[in-house]
Structure 1
Amino acid sequence: MQPPHSAPPASDPQSDSDSLFDAPPIAEQERMVEAVLFASATPVTLRDLEGRMPHGCNPAAALEHLRKRYEGRGVRVVQVGEAWAMRTAPDLGFLMQKEIVETRKLSRAAIETLAIIAYHQPVTRAEIEEIRGVSVSRGTVDQLLEMEWIRIGRRRMTPGRPVTFVVTPVFLDHFGLESARDLPGLKELRAAGLLENRPPPGSLPMGQGGEDDEEVGDQPELFGD
């Protein structure tokens, strides 16, 4: 007598459902991260990547794989503040010189103000004026805000609750810095002519040093770019 034919085990609908939502292999996730960074005009955060990639992906792990893959290449995966971007290797920057056209210049007043904010952030307008020894015109701060190199930070918990200023990821990205801690040292800035030994307030002859001076300088040179 033939044994009764046994039916194949029923598939578990729960496991089938889970398999439909399995995350892609890490190599595919790496390709996704690469595509997003390559196409993005601005640095991309992990949260942005999580929002774009399929459910279950691990963008942090994929990003680390991608960063290692690009080590020693002409293009690198670099951190800019809390975000990530693809940038030309620093030692190959000379190849891009013909492609870069600098049409915007900063006054020395704006350069000094920007440097003080970068090194002393968060810093108030009064503190900037105290360090520089001259008053800061509104136009100087407005120009830096318009360029998105600085932004308004938290209010200081002092009388009047003045606003503070800090540098932005746009500033860090422009000068190839991961954070403000990577700024050049004081000796380098003095050698570049950025930090001058200004006379103390009140010691200048009448008609000098009262408002922002407008001596013009190229912005990248003074930050060691």
Structure 2
Amino acid sequence: MNEQQLKQLVEAAIFAATEAVTVDNLLQGALAGYKLNRPRVRQIIDELMADYSDRGVQLVEVASGYRFQTRAELGPALANMWQERAPKYSAALLETLALIAWRQPITRGEIEAVRGVSVSTNIIRTLQERDWVKVVGHKEVPGRPALYATTKAFLDYFSLQSVADLPALAVTRPELSSDPAAPSAQPDDTDNDGDTRERDADKAILH
């Protein structure tokens, strides 16, 4: 197999995969019959990324590996192709997710101290069911509260390789940047289906 055919094979393997693909996935799968090492496969992937750099579809690296996706700026126009709208989330849920993302690991109590309202069980459950948040341990204080952090699925959804790639937090509510030692939380009644402050998750968190 020549160089061009190898590049086509790697391209096809990543395109056909239903999830992001790692170099090891390629070596153990589509490239198993060829004597290639990791640096060589990465070189092929880099060449493909360059080939797609100015196309409507791009080859990108996310936390779980490599995948093809449409250019972010084309999203609004492409959304018109489907009648079903993307999920929308309440401001309360998005603020909770933002705090976990930028301050992880963080306890539920620390989130409540910053926001000034209690975090509903439904918010935490929704984030966990979406596989954006998980428990990564327990804080060594009385009661040993759970510590929450984001997952690879969260990073993949927002096309990030690691939490270090998170953009600067654009604070729209002053309390989100305040010290966790804030007043005691009050009940949060903003997490409901009729919340008029719902917005698209990726726009609210990352822009």
Give the TM-score normalised by the residue count of structure 1.
Answer: 0.72
In structure 1, the residue matched to 2:32 is 54
| Residue deviations 1:144-180 (CA, integer Å, cap 9, x gap) | 1111122222444555544322222332333333333
User: What corresponds to 1:81 in structure 2?
Assistant: 63
Q: Which moved more, 1:171-180 or 1:45-54?
A: 171-180
Q: Would the aligned equivalents of 1:43 and 1:83 in 2 still touch at CA under 8 Å?
A: yes
| In structure 2, C-alpha distance between the alignment counterparts of 1:32 and 1:212, rounded to whole Å | 53
Quick one: distance in 1 between partners of 2:60 and 2:148?
25
Alignment of 1:213 onto 2:194: no
2:20 is aligned with what amino acid?
A: P
Rg larger for: 1
2:157 is aligned to 174
The residue identity in structure 2 corresponding to 1:126 is G
Counterpart code for 1:139: N
User: Residue 46 of structure 2 aligns with which residue?
Assistant: 64
2:15 aligns to what?
38
Alpha-carbon deviation of 1:82?
4.3
Secondary structure of 1:210's counterpart equals coil
Letter in 1 for 2:134: R
**For 1:63-212, what aligned pairs fall within 5 Å after superposition?**
63-100=45-82, 101-158=84-141, 160-186=143-169, 188-190=170-172, 195-197=173-175, 201-202=183-184, 209-211=186-188
SS at match of 1:44: coil
Unpaired segments ≥5 residues, structure 2: none
Secondary structure at 1:66 match in 2 = helix
Contact 1:78 1:87 in 2 (8 A): yes
Whether the aligned pair in 2 keeps the contact of 1:150 and 1:166 (CA below 8 Å) is yes
With normalisation by structure 2, the TM-score equals 0.77
Question: Is contact 1:108–1:217 with CA below 8 Å preserved after alignment?
Answer: yes
Question: Which amino acid in structure 1 is aligned with residue 54 of structure 2?
Answer: G
Question: Is the Cα–Cα contact under 8 Å of residues 114 and 175 in structure 2 kept in the other structure?
Answer: no
Evaluate the alpha carbon distance shift between residue 31 and residue 155 of structure 1 in structure 2; reply closer, same or farther with a 3 A threshold: farther
Counterpart of 1:153 in 2: which secondary structure? strand
- Contact 2:106–2:147 (CA under 8 A) maintained in structure 1: yes
Q: Number of matched residues?
A: 192
Say which structure, 1 or 2, has more relative contact order (CA 8 Å, 6+ apart). 2
1:73 Cα offset (Å): 1.6
List gaps (5 residues or longer) in structure 1. Answer: 1-23
Identity of aligned residues (%): 32
SS of corresponding position for 1:129:
helix
Secondary structure class of the residue paired with 2:106: coil
Distance in 2 of aligned mates of 1:175 and 1:65? 23
